[in-house]
């Protein structure tokens, strides 16, 4: 591999044994995705897909703390404010990469060890195999920064059991460890001390089929011991989640939570009330529409939403409050759900004409 600049080190692309291995390599930044990383991964993925000697693709994060904490959105917000228009390009290429993962012709194994949020979910959840460890921390926390659970969230979230995806999308609730598997986000669970061995076993396979790969993962999954006997942490709340989050408007969901009155419901109410009202409304509609769309149709819809959010107020305010000043008190505009009109909402979903994301 030829290495030119420091940026080239942000992601390592190596052919090892039967596999192409992608290592997200910005551990100081929790492996947050840059445009440069997206471009490198996309072009290498396409090459490996065509290479008869590459039988599977493995993606993982360096440093042990994170698989990938998301896209480097602070950089995007700062660039937008400085009138450098990188957002249209960043989101377009990121979503094209999400689709490339979803349509990858080779078995794709994401080792989701550590923080896996936002853009990191987009790099893993659409692939064939997702292996969580006890250190995995999953969330789609975008409503807290004036965005929405993008990278194909509109596709995979409404397809989770019951209304679980709607709950995760609106609250940004975090799932840990084996619960990421129980929720259906991971396909396998492996104790982290066995992760390196699992990778070695995968690399040592000779011209493996999808079934050979699945069987190695299955063996490790079956032998994993951590939290094996615990039930899904949201199990006792699933009935509440299903009934409260089955409403068609955010206002009704909030009313349902108030009516429910349990400590769990009131806790979620508190969380939802802190989120961007615009983001909440966009997100609910995104999931409702996404539930019957293909991944590509969802990504086209989400690209429209992403560009509307860049033009708006809440995304830049959310990034300021959460990532820059860290005062955690964003001033949303509008500040109230009832001020977010249907017209505002419809404008977010409008076609961008020749600027639409096309596959």
Q: What is the pLDDT of residues 286-328, one digit of tens each?
A: 999 999 999 999 999 999 999 999 999 999 999 999 999 999 9
What are the domain boundaries of the chain? 11-355
Average pLDDT over residues 124-146: 98
User: Considering only the top CATH level, what class is 11-355?
Assistant: alpha beta
Set 20, 102, 118, 119: catalytic member: 119
Give the 3-state secondary structure of 69-136: CCECHHHHHHHHHCCCCCHHHHHHHHHHHHHHHHCCCCCEEEEECCEEECHHHHCCCCCCEEEECCCC
Structure tokens at 21: 């291995």
Average pLDDT over residues 136-159: 98
Q: Residue 281's pLDDT is what?
A: 98
Inform me whether the pLDDT recorded for 60 exceeds 70. Answer: yes
Helix (H/G/I), strand (E/B), else coil: 270: helix
> Edge-to-edge, what's the strand order for the sheet holding 175-176?
66-68, 115-117, 137-139, 175-176
207 close to 18: Cβ distance less than 8 angstroms: yes
Inform me whether the pLDDT recorded for 4 exceeds 60. Answer: no
Whether the bond between 334 and the residue before it is cis, its omega within 30 degrees of 0, is yes
144 close to 322: Cβ distance less than 8 angstroms: yes
Set 17, 20, 70, 71: catalytic member: 71
118 is catalytic: no
Q: Any alpha helices (H) in 124-188, and if so which ranges?
A: 153-156, 164-171, 178-182
Set 10, 142, 179, 314: catalytic member: 142
Radius of gyration of the chain (CA): 20
119 is catalytic: yes
Q: Residue 8's pLDDT is what?
A: 63
- The pLDDT tens digits of the residues spanning 104-115 come to 999 999 999 999
Closest by alpha carbon to 18, among 45, 60, 56, 46? 56
- The pLDDT tens digits of the residues spanning 66-95 come to 999 999 988 888 887 788 889 999 999 999
- Return phi, psi of residue 173, to 5°: -50, 140
Average pLDDT over residues 35-49: 97
Please give the Cα distance from 48 to 233 (Å, whole number): 39
* Tokens 């000779």 belong to residue: 206
51 is catalytic: no
* Tokens 């259906």 belong to residue: 184
Average pLDDT over residues 243-253: 98
Set 72, 94, 134, 150: catalytic member: 150
70 close to 116: Cβ distance less than 8 angstroms: no
- Return phi, psi of residue 16, to 5°: -130, 125
User: Can you give the pTM of this predicted structure?
Assistant: 0.96
139 close to 174: Cβ distance less than 8 angstroms: yes
150 is catalytic: yes
Q: Residue 80's pLDDT is what?
A: 78
Confidence of residue 3 (pLDDT cuts 50, 70, 90): very low
Please give the Cα distance from 69 to 138 (Å, whole number): 9
Q: Residue 75's pLDDT is what?
A: 87
Tell me how far CA of residue 149 lies from CA of 10, 191, 197, 329, 344, in angstroms.
24, 28, 33, 20, 18
69 close to 117: Cβ distance less than 8 angstroms: yes
């Amino acid at each position: 591999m030829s290495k030119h600049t420091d940026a080239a080190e942000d992601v390592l692309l190596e052919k090892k044994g039967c596999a192409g291995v992608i290592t997200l390599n910005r551990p100081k930044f929790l492996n947050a995705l840059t445009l440069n990383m997206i471009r490198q991964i996309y072009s290498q993925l396409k090459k490996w897909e065509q290479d008869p000697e590459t039988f599977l693709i493995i993606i993982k994060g360096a440093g042990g703390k994170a698989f990938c904490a998301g896209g480097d959105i602070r950089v995007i917000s700062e660039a937008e404010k400085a009138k450098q228009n990188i957002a249209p390009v960043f989101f377009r290429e990121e979503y094209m990469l999400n689709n490339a993962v979803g349509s990858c012709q080779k078995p794709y194994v994401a080792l989701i060890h550590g923080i896996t949020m936002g853009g990191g979910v987009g790099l893993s959840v659409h692939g064939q195999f997702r292996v969580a460890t006890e250190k995995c921390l999953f969330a789609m926390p975008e409503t807290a920064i004036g965005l929405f659970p993008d990278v194909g969230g509109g596709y995979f979230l409404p397809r989770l059991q019951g209304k679980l995806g709607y709950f995760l999308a609106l609250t940004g609730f975090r799932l840990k460890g084996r619960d990421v598997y129980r929720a259906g986000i991971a396909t396998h669970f492996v104790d982290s001390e066995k992760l390196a061995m699992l990778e070695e076993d995968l690399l040592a396979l000779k011209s493996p089929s999808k079934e050979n790969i699945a069987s190695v993962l299955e063996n490790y999954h079956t032998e994993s011991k951590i939290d094996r006997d615990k039930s899904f942490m949201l199990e006792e709340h699933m009935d509440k989640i299903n009934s409260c989050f089955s409403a068609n408007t955010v206002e009704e969901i909030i009313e349902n939570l108030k009516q429910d009155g349990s400590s769990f419901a009131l806790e979620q109410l508190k969380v939802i009330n802190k989120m961007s009202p615009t983001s909440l409304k966009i997100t609910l509609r995104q999931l409702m529409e996404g539930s019957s769309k293909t991944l590509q149709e969802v990504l086209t819809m989400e690209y429209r939403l992403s560009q509307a959010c860049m033009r708006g107020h809440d995304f830049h305010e959310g990034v300021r409050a959460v990532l820059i000043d860290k005062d955690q008190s964003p001033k949303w505009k509008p500040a109230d759900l009832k001020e977010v009109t249907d017209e505002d909402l419809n404008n977010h979903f409008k076609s961008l004409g020749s600027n639409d994301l096309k596959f």
